[in-house]
């Protein structure tokens, strides 16, 4: 229990650091007041009024104090660009991102570790080399490039998938039709992300399982005549799962930050797209909100992974 409390304390400390760092990070990146410098329609007075409304005429310390008070009271300010509350924008984009990145993370974890098991149990054979090398090639490809190839091949040339967006524009749907249409649109980006993420699970699962398969208890299990699948399922894989579980729970933290390049490539309206739009318009409150939110998610996922590991692996508790 004490161990868990310490972990929670560290997580809170990290979050506090992010809170402070976040503010200064974006101030260094640029002064949004300067972007208003050359709009031929704005009068000088109007420009001053806008700067004042955004609090950009205040000193950095005052701005920081306002930011801190607002954030701690759960208010993430208003986006400069859309003029809507940052929290609303984030919560609207979140389900889309979870659908895309969450599904891809789970799929790649399942398929990847399954392929890892296959590769490890056939070590040195052609299928092992194929799986390992293939997934590593996919993993090292930039995702957007993989996505572009898949769009060209599967969407443009073969016409199997829509080329992008979340639903067909301007179409009225029944609820089933809507869901089906979203599935169609989500399929290709999910496929891209899944292929891109597979590699890490394959490699980790394969190496962990390979180690376990050399252990004495596996030889024992084989010696007592257990079928291969039972050796794997009941004895080897369970012991090799630990690093995969850690990896999955860490990656779940990144689910909410979206996949910036993939969302942009497929015009998918998630958090990644929100981030790109905010960067393009120097929308400080939005960027701060998104970064705070995603850092918090990663920190919480880390904490979760830590605690899960403590529960799963007695060695951690003892050490």
Determine which residue in the list 116, 162, 253, 258 makes contact with another protein, applying CB under 8 A.
162
* Shortest distance in whole angstroms from residue 61 CB to another protein: 19
Q: Candidates 6, 25, 46, 66: give the one binding another protein (CB under 8 A).
A: 46
- 157 binds another protein, rule: CB under 8 A: no
Cβ closer to another protein: 7 or 222?
222
SS3 78: strand
Which contacts (CB < 8 Å, 24+ apart) does range 166-169 have? Answer: 166/96, 166/267, 166/268, 166/269
* CA dist list (Å): 112 to 132, 164, 253, 257: 10, 25, 18, 22
> Which residues neighbour 235 within 8 Å (Cβ) at sequence distance 6 or greater?
217, 218, 221, 226
Asked whether the beta carbons of 265 and 144 are under 8 A apart, the reply is yes
- Check binding of 169 to another protein (CB under 8 A): yes
Pick from 318, 319, 309, 315: nearest CA to 242: 309
Structure tokens given for 75? 């208010």
Nearest Cα to Cα of residue 260 among 200, 196, 179? 196
Q: Do 200 and 139 meet the contact criterion of CB atoms below 8 Å apart?
A: yes
Q: How far is the CB of 250 from another protein (least distance, A)?
A: 26
Return the number of the residue (16 or 142) whose C-beta is nearest another protein. Answer: 142
Our CB check for another protein shows the closer of 96 and 246 to be: 96
Joined together, the tokens standing for residue 192 give 């891209």
* Residue 84 touching another protein (CB under 8 A): yes
Q: Residue 37 contacts by C-beta under 8 Å, 6 or more apart in sequence? A: 47
The region of 101-109, 130-138, 148-156, 251-259 touching another protein under the rule CB under 8 A is 148-156
Which single residue is written with the structure tokens 């894989």? 237
Q: Helix, strand or coil for residue 85?
A: strand
Interface pick for another protein out of 3, 34, 65, 315 (rule CB under 8 A): 34
82 binds another protein (CB under 8 A): yes
264 sits near another protein (criterion: CB under 8 A)? yes
**CB nearer another protein, residue 107 or residue 141:** 107
Site stretch for another protein (CB under 8 A), options 18-26, 134-142, 198-206, 227-235: 227-235
Does the protein bind another protein through residue 37 (CB under 8 A)? Answer: yes
Using rule CB under 8 A, residue 135 touches another protein: no
Count of other CB atoms within 10 angstroms of residue 285: 22
Which one, 83 or 140, has the nearer CB to another protein?
A: 83
Binding of another protein by 277 (CB under 8 A): yes
CA–CA gap between residue 260 and residue 21 (Å, rounded): 22
- Closest approach, Cβ 266 to another protein, in A, equals 7
CB of 206 to another protein, least distance (A): 19
Contact between 43 and another protein per CB under 8 A: yes
| Axis-axis angle for helices 284-312, 60-72 (nearest 10) | 50
Min dist CB 120 to another protein, Å, is 14
Residue closer to another protein by CB (options 84, 317) is 84
Chain residues that interact with another protein, rule: CB under 8 A = 30-31, 34, 37-46, 49-50, 53, 81-84, 92-93, 151, 155-156, 158-174, 176-177, 180-181, 184, 187, 222, 225-229, 231, 263-269, 273, 276-277, 280-281
């Amino acid at each position: 229990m004490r161990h868990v409390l310490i972990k929670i304390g560290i997580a809170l400390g990290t979050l506090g650091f992010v809170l402070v760092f976040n503010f200064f990070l974006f101030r260094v990146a640029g002064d949004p007041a300067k972007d208003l410098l050359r709009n031929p329609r704005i009068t000088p007075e109007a420009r001053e009024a806008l700067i004042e409304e955004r609090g950009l005429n205040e000193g950095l310390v005052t701005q920081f104090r306002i930011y801190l008070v607002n954030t701690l009271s759960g208010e993430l300010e208003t986006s400069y660009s859309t003029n809507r509350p940052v929290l609303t924008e984030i919560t609207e984009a979140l389900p889309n991102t979870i659908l895309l990145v969450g599904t891809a993370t789970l799929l790649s974890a399942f398929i990847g570790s399954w392929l890892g098991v296959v590769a490890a149990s056939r070590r040195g054979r052609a299928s092992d080399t194929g799986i390992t090398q293939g997934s590593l090639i996919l993993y090292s490809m930039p995702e957007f490039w993989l996505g572009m190839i898949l769009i060209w091949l599967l969407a443009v040339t073969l016409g199997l998938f829509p080329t992008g967006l979340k639903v067909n524009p301007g179409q009225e749907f029944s609820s089933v039709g809507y869901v089906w249409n979203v599935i169609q649109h989500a399929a290709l980006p999910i496929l891209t992300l899944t292929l891109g993420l597979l590699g890490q699970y394959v490699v980790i699962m394969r190496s962990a399982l390979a180690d376990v398969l050399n252990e004495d208890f596996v030889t024992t299990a084989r010696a007592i005549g257990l079928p291969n699948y039972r050796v794997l399922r009941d004895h080897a894989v369970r012991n090799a799962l630990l690093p995969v579980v850690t990896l999955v729970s860490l990656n779940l933290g990144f689910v909410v930050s979206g996949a910036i390049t993939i969302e942009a490539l497929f015009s998918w309206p998630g958090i990644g797209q929100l981030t790109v739009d905010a960067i393009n318009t120097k929308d400080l409150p939005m960027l701060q909100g998104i970064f705070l939110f995603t850092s918090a998610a990663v920190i919480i996922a880390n904490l979760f992974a830590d605690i899960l590991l403590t529960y799963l692996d007695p060695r951690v508790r003892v050490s």
